[in-house]
Each structure stands twice: as C-alpha cells, then as structure tokens.
Amino acid sequence: MSIRINTKELLAILETTPANQNIMLVGKHGIGKSKILSDYFTSKGNKVVPLFLGQMSDPGDLIGLLHKNDATGLTEFMPPYWFPTDDTPVVLFLDELNRARPEVLQTIMDLALNRTLAGKSLPKGSRIISAVNNGEEYQLTDLDPALVSRFNIYDFCPTANEWLLWAEKKQLDKRVIEFISQNPDYLDGDGREIEDGSLEKSPDRRAWERVSQIISTLKSEEINDTHKKIIAGIVGTKATSKFFESLKASIMLSAIDILTKDFELSKRLLSKYITPQFAVLNNNLFRTLETASFSEKQKDLAAQNLQAYFDLLNQLKQREAMAHFASIFSKPDYPNSLMFIIQNAPELYSKLTNFISEIR
C-alpha cells in the first residue's frame, strides 16, 4: 500500500531525511511537485538541478559525451553542462523518471546508489529526488525493482486546502479561489475519464493559476464568450462551464470585506445565507486570517467583526455552521489564525473553547 502524504508532510520529510537517502514522489502532473521542491531547497541556499528524463534520447544526454583525453591518451566522458564543478552539493531532481528510456534508466542506477555518474562523483551532501507520474493516461516505462529499492517512495497527494492557502498568499484572483473553495474536485481534474491519446484539457493547479492571470484585471461582467474560450483551452470545457456558472451565481461576501468593513453592512446579506454558504465563508475567513497582513487598527476591527460573525451564527441558530467554524479553529491547519484569535479576540476564544466542550 502506498504511503500518502500532503504538502506539510512532504516538507517534514525533506527536512528529516538525510541527504544520502533518495526520495521518490509519485503523483499526477500539475500538482506542484517540482515547484515545492525547488522553493524549499532554494530557500535553504541549495542549487536545484532539474533533469527531465523523459526528454532524453540516449544516455549521452545525461552522462555527457565521450572524448579522448590528450594528456592520458584515454577516452573519458566530458561532464554534462549541469554537473557541479565547484564541489558544492546540489539537489538533483530527476523528473519524469518513469518516462525515461530503459537505456537512460540504466545510467541512473549507479547515480542513485553511489552518487556517481560515468566515474565522476557528485559533491558530498548532494541529494537525489525523483518524481514519477502515475495513471493510465501516461505513457510510462516500467521501473526496475532494483532501482525502485534505492528510493524512499511517497504518494504525493496535496490537499485542496493547502493549495487554497498558497493561492491566498500568492494573491490569485479571488473568483478562482472562491470557485475551488466551493468545488475542490475541480482542482486536479473534472471527473471525466480521458481516453488514451485524447488532447482534451482537464484542470490542474498550474492551469488555475493561468486562469487567474487571464481574468485578474477583468470585472466579472467584462468576462465574455471569447474569454470563456480562452479559459476552456486552459482547464477544459466542463470546468469552464462550472466556473462561469459560479461567476453568474456568486453573491458571496469576501472574507476581507467582512473583517475590515462595517459589519452592519455585511450582516444584512449574511442573514440570507444558508449552511453550505456559511461553511465556504468559514474557510475563507480562516484562510484570510492566516495569510493577510493587518495594521493595528485593522486587527482591532477584524477581531471585532470575527466576534460579531460568530455571534450572528448563534443568533441565526446556525448550529451546524458554528460547529464547522469551531472544527476549523480546533485543527492545526491555521496556526496564524489561532494566534490571531487568542491575542486579539479573547472573548471569541473563550466562546469557541466552551462551544467545543459542549459538543464533545
């Protein structure tokens, strides 16, 4: 049985695993494997060398070309362009490992076991991490069990909530964030079975980021049929239709408006909401608290409004929405939000802890 991990667990694995142990990540394309690895190791000051093995036609693309050493009269391999020459350790990211040709995979064996390539050693402390795609829609090469045994293997399954937090921090378009918040199944697909050889598009995380770039300067009423075709070429027709339905139907207040504007203006609309809408809004509020930077004045208002929001749920007898709010509060997913409530809204903190005690 595969070991499933999310983004938080992946970062813990990268932090804990010694450099001499190889890691293999299994997962669909477009879920952020290479981006997360690159960002993590770059932040640590490490050079990341990505090698797309599926694009290599023969071992020479990986190990370099054979030539004669004039000094010795012997033949040897010239180091490839990426090979480190300053004795500084690198992170070698072997992408598309199971799309590589069998003859290319053979050269990976010694690299994975001994950190050597054509007789030349990687600098001490270098890491090897590979990524493989899984699924019947890919044209894949079976991996030798001896090669597989050289890796610690994890099935990378980042959650929609992790992506939503990332999207908030990157300030992706709120309409995209709102749509995925309400339709998380559309983040990494749209439920269709794609036939082999089909060029039909289906959504993934990179695609939604591109959609955000397309519409970020447009008001909802300015998005027309041409934009719809453009977006369909990015995430597919099914996801696009669903997304445009959400643009027409959306009357949701934004979390930042609820937190930073006069709550009486929000209260009138919130009083018309039903439980599923409150559930979406609960998540939006915690994500906003987790990622936003408030001035001291804004902190005070946000704390007051958050308290007023929870009180309103009670006044509306939205017991299920209150329980959902409390459940998010009690999870470890939003540490900044928890600290915000403890420091700035102690009365709300007390109400939440009492509410949780009651329902238990």
HEC per residue, 14-63: HHHCCCCCEEEEECCCCCCHHHHHHHHHHHCCCEEEEEEHHHCCCCHHHH
Give pLDDT, residue 193: 55
Q: Which residue has the tokens 């190889």?
A: 22
Alpha carbon distance, N-terminus to C-terminus of the chain: 34
Q: Are 32 and 164 in contact (CB under 8 A)?
A: no
Tens-digit pLDDT string for the chain (360 aa): 678 999 999 999 999 999 999 999 998 877 888 889 999 999 999 999 898 887 777 776 677 666 677 777 777 667 777 788 888 999 999 888 888 888 778 878 888 888 887 778 889 999 999 988 875 544 455 677 888 889 999 999 999 999 999 999 899 998 999 899 889 999 988 766 555 445 577 899 999 999 999 999 998 889 999 999 999 999 999 999 999 988 876 667 889 999 999 999 899 889 989 998 899 899 999 999 999 888 888 999 999 999 999 999 999 999 999 999 999 999 888 999 999 999 999 999 999 999 999 876
Cα–Cα distance measured from residue 263 to residue 176, given in angstroms and rounded to the nearest whole number: 25
Give pLDDT, residue 137: 47
Give pLDDT, residue 67: 65
Cα–Cα distance measured from residue 341 to residue 302, given in angstroms and rounded to the nearest whole number: 10
Give pLDDT, residue 231: 96
Joined together, the tokens standing for residue 303 give 């704390």
Give pLDDT, residue 138: 44
SS3 state of residue 129: strand
Cα–Cα distance measured from residue 127 to residue 21, given in angstroms and rounded to the nearest whole number: 8
This model's pTM is above 0.85: no
Give pLDDT, residue 188: 87
What does the DSSP assignment read for 316-328? TT-HHHHHHHHHH
Question: Any idea what the Cα angle at residue 5 is, between residues 153 and 291, rounded to 5°?
Answer: 140
Residue type, 263: F
Cα–Cα distance measured from residue 215 to residue 242, given in angstroms and rounded to the nearest whole number: 16
Contacts of 142 (CB under 8 A, 6+ apart): 98
Give the residue among 147, 150, 183 at the shortest CA–CA distance from 164: 183
Cα–Cα distance measured from residue 308 to residue 268, given in angstroms and rounded to the nearest whole number: 13
Give the residue among 169, 172, 24, 41 at the shortest CA–CA distance from 108: 24
Q: 232 burial class (0-12, 13-18, 19+ CB within 10 angstroms)?
A: middle
